[in-house]
Amino acid sequence: MLLKQVQAQALSPISAMYRDKKVVVVMPAYNAARTLRQTYAEVQEQQLVDGIILVDDGSRDDTVAVARSLEGMQVHVHELNKGYGANQKTCYRLALESGADIVIMIHPDYQYTPKLIPAMVSIIANGLHPCVLGSRILGGYALRGGMPLWKYVSNRCLTLAENILLGAKLSEYHTGYRAFSREILQKLHLAGNSDDFVFDNQMLAQILWHGFTIAEVSCPTKYFSEASSINLRRSIRYGLGCLTTGLRFRLARMGLVGCKLFPPVGV
């Protein structure tokens, strides 16, 4: 009987708050049924995670059924597709409502490895930086991981322009692997951001606007047929949205225009 109890404990999800911080992983999901189990299993291997929340954005496959079969996963469903940004808004709202102190956003398509969660949690929990990005560019993993050349070139050019406009030195702004402190998520007015893919970029610009620092960790990535991606047309629209965000940031910083995304500091 004792042996069975020990085995059951070893197989059950481990919840151990790191430095008294509750760590919650959020997964914005859309048609991720084929990769969700693998992503979930690797997240569970990281012994710092206290909860997992998946928000399904109107998937047309079995994502919801698979998610509900996974032990300990909180599942929220958008009956209609609202967009990637709207999905994240729900993710962060639910994470804060659950009492999360540190929130890790990772896509359930297994493009990014959850094995970096302990490193990202440690950086935030130890007060080094309140935001951490998993960068595909640091370490030269992007092309080796299968990123198409046109996407790599676009990423580098767009990142250069954004660093100039935002006054930062990030290796990329377009990763789907991010960690945030509770303070950041409570400070930013995310409801006013786009419901589309440019939400990611607007959020980083807002973090920089409020004076928060951003750390980056080198992240190996995998590109394969099941991994999520956006087509060329939407990529162009996203790129233009990023440049518009950067330009608004610069003009607001110079005091030339007002912008809801970038209110006067302290507001």
What are the extents of the domains in the chain? 13-253
For the 13-253 domain, the top CATH level (class) is alpha beta
Looking at residue 94, its pLDDT comes to 98
How far CA 239 is from CA of 6, 86, 157, 162, 165, in Å, comes to 52, 19, 10, 10, 14
Looking at residue 6, its pLDDT comes to 30
- Whether the per-residue pLDDT at 215 is higher than 60: the answer is yes
Residue position matching structure tokens 């997992």? 52
Q: Locate 75 and state its tokens.
A: 């599942």
CA dihedral angle for residue 262, residue 97, residue 23, residue 208, rounded to 10 degrees: 0
pLDDT band at 14 (very low <50, low <70, confident <90, very high): very low
Percentage above 90 pLDDT, the chain: 75
Starting at the earlier edge strand, list the strands of the sheet with 51-57.
Answer: 73-78, 51-57, 23-29, 102-106, 177-181, 131-135, 214-218
**How far, in Å, CA of 85 to CA of 59, rounded?**
15
pTM, to two decimals: 0.89
8-state DSSP, 190: G
pLDDT band at 81 (very low <50, low <70, confident <90, very high): very high
* Other Cβ atoms closer than 10 A to 138: 16
- Detail the DSSP E strand segments found in the chain: 23-29, 51-57, 73-78, 102-106, 131-135, 177-181, 214-218
Looking at residue 144, its pLDDT comes to 79
